[in-house]
A and B are shown apart, each in its own frame.
Chain A
Amino acid sequence: MALSQNQRQSGVAATTLNTPPETHPIPEPIPGIDVKRLAIGPEDAFVLFRVDGKSGVKQIALTTGLQEPRVVQALQTLSRLGAVKFGSAAVPPSTSTSRVEPLAAQAKDTAAHSVAAQGVAPHSIAANSALAHSAAAPGVSAHSVANSVAGPESVGLEARVLDLFQSLPERDFYALLNIPRNADKALVKSSYFALVADMHPDKYYGKDLGSLKPKLERIFQVLTEAYETLSRAKRRAEYDATLAPEQPVQLAPTPARTAPEPLISQAPPTMRVESGTLAASTVHIAVTTPGSNPSARAVETPNPQRKSLMPGTGQHSASASPSLQSAGATPRPQVTTSRSAAEVRQKPNVSVEGSQMSGSLSQVLASTATASAPRSLTPESPIAKSQARRYFLDAEQHVLSGNPSAAVNVLKLASSLSPSDPEIRKRLAEVEFEADKSRAEQFLAKAKQEQSDGHFEEAGRLYGRAARGKSSAQLYGIAAQCLSRHAELKDIEADKRSQVLREACGYARKGVELDAEDMNLRLLLAEIYAQAGMVTSAIAELEKAATLKPSDSAIQQRLARLRREKTQT
Chain B
Amino acid sequence: MTKTPERVIGIDLGTTNSCVAVMDGDVPRVIPNRGGYKTTPSMVAVTQTGKRLVGHIAKRQAITNAENTVHAAKRLIGRPWNSPQVEIARQTCSYELIEGPHNDARIRLRDGSYSVPELSSMILQEMKIIADDDLGAPVGKAVVTVPAYFNDNQRQATKDAGTIAGLDIIRIINEPTAAALAYGFGKSLNATVAVYDLGGGTFDVSILDIADGVFKVIATTGDTFLGGEDFDLRIIDWLVEGFLQDHGVDLRRDRMALQRLKDAAEKAKCELSGVEQTEINLPFIISTGRNEALHLQRTVTRATLESLTQDLIGRTVQICRRALEDADLDVGDIDDVLLVGGMTRMPAIQTAVEKLFGKRPNQSVHPDEVVALGAAIQGASLLDTTDQEVLLLDVTPHALGILTAGGIFEELIAQNTTVPTMSTKVFTTSRDNQTAVKILVLQNSTEGAQEMLGEFALTGLRRAPRGEVELEVTFKIDTDGIVSVSARDLETSQAQSIQVLASSGLTSEEVSAMISSAQDYLVERRADEALEVVRQKIQTASAELERLLPQVEKLVGQSEFGRDALTRARAALNRSADALAKVDAKAAEVEYEALERTLRMFRGVVAGGT
Contacts and interface: CB of A to CB of B under 8 A. Distances in A.
Real complex partners, A and B? yes
Interface of A: 150-151, 189-190, 193-194, 196-197, 200-207, 217-218, 220-221, 224, 228, 232, 234, 396, 400, 422-423, 425-426, 536
B211 A536 contact: no
Nearest to B490: A396
B392 interface: yes
A234 B329 CA distance: 12
A139 B532 CA distance: 43
Contacts of A234: 328
Contacts of B421: 217, 221, 224
Interface in B376-399: 382-383, 385-386, 388, 391-393
B354 interface: no
Contacts of A204: 385
Given A202-B382, A224-B418, A217 B478 contact: yes
Listed residue (A197, A218, A536) with the most chain B CB atoms within 10 angstroms of its CB: A197
Contacts of B170: 205
Nearest to A151: B386
A538 to B, nearest CB: 12
B213 A197 contact: yes
A14 B236 CA distance: 94
Contacts of B328: 232, 234
A177 to B, nearest CB: 14
A218 B479 CA distance: 12
Task: Please give me the 6 A-B residue pairs with the lowest Cβ-Cβ distance, nearest first.
Answer: A422-B536, A217-B420, A205-B382, A193-B214, A224-B418, A201-B479
Contacts of A218: 422
B368 to A, nearest CB: 27
A217 B481 CA distance: 13
Given A217-B420, A220-B420, A232-B328, A202 B392 contact: yes
Nearest to A535: B610
Given A194-B212, A396-B490, A422-B533, A205 B422 contact: no
B288 interface: no
Contact of A196 (B214, B385, B491, B533): B214
B417 to A, nearest CB: 8
B216 interface: yes
Contacts of B160: none
Contact of A206 (B211, B383, B420, B529): B383
A217 B385 contact: no
B469 to A, nearest CB: 14
B341 to A, nearest CB: 26
Contacts of A425: 536
A196 B209 CA distance: 13
Contact of B382 (A190, A206, A224, A426): A206
Interface string B208-227: 01011110100000000000
B181 to A, nearest CB: 13
A207 B385 contact: yes
A202 B377 CA distance: 14
Interface of B: 1, 170, 209, 211-214, 216, 328, 382-383, 385-386, 388, 391-393, 418, 420-422, 478-479, 490-493, 529, 532-533, 535-536, 610
B420 A193 contact: no
Contacts of B392: 202
Contacts of A189: 209, 211
Nearest to A536: B610
B536 A196 contact: no
B532 A221 contact: no
A194 B212 CA distance: 8
B3 to A, nearest CB: 15
Contacts of B385: 203-207
Contact of A422 (B214, B420, B532): B532
B493 A400 contact: yes
A193 B392 CA distance: 11
B490 A201 contact: no
A203 B479 CA distance: 11
Contact of A423 (B1, B211, B532): B532
A32 B1 CA distance: 32
A197 B212 contact: yes
Nearest to B423: A221
B475 to A, nearest CB: 12
B493 to A, nearest CB: 5
B212 to A, nearest CB: 5
A200 B211 CA distance: 15
Nearest to B215: A193
B378 to A, nearest CB: 9
A203 B536 contact: no
A224 B216 CA distance: 10
Most buried by A among B386, B490, B493: B493
B532 A196 contact: no
B543 to A, nearest CB: 12
Contact of B212 (A193, A202, A205, A228): A193
Contacts of B383: 205-206
Given A193-B211, A206-B382, 8 more contacts: A151-B386, A189-B209, A190-B212, A197-B212, A202-B391, A217-B421, A224-B418, A396-B490
22 contacts: A151-B386, A189-B211, A193-B211, A193-B212, A197-B212, A197-B214, A197-B391, A200-B393, A201-B420, A203-B385, A205-B383, A218-B422, A221-B418, A221-B422, A224-B418, A232-B328, A400-B493, A422-B535, A422-B536, A423-B529, A423-B532, A425-B536
B242 to A, nearest CB: 52
A196 B420 CA distance: 12
A194 B388 CA distance: 13
A458 B213 CA distance: 67
A222 to B, nearest CB: 10
Contacts of A422: 532-533, 535-536
Contacts of B478: 201, 217
Nearest to B6: A206
Most chain A Cβ neighbours within 10 Å, of B385, B386, B529: B385
A189 B393 CA distance: 13
Contacts of B535: 422
B553 to A, nearest CB: 12
A220 B417 CA distance: 12
A425 to B, nearest CB: 7
Contacts of A426: 536
Contacts of A224: 393, 418, 421
A396 B470 CA distance: 12
A526 B479 CA distance: 69
A426 B529 CA distance: 13
A201 B420 CA distance: 9
A133 B225 CA distance: 58
Question: Which of B212, B328, B393, B422 gathers most chain A CB within 10 Å?
Answer: B393
Contacts of B388: 203
A47 to B, nearest CB: 27
A81 B420 CA distance: 31
Given A190-B211, A194-B212, A197-B213, A203 B418 contact: no
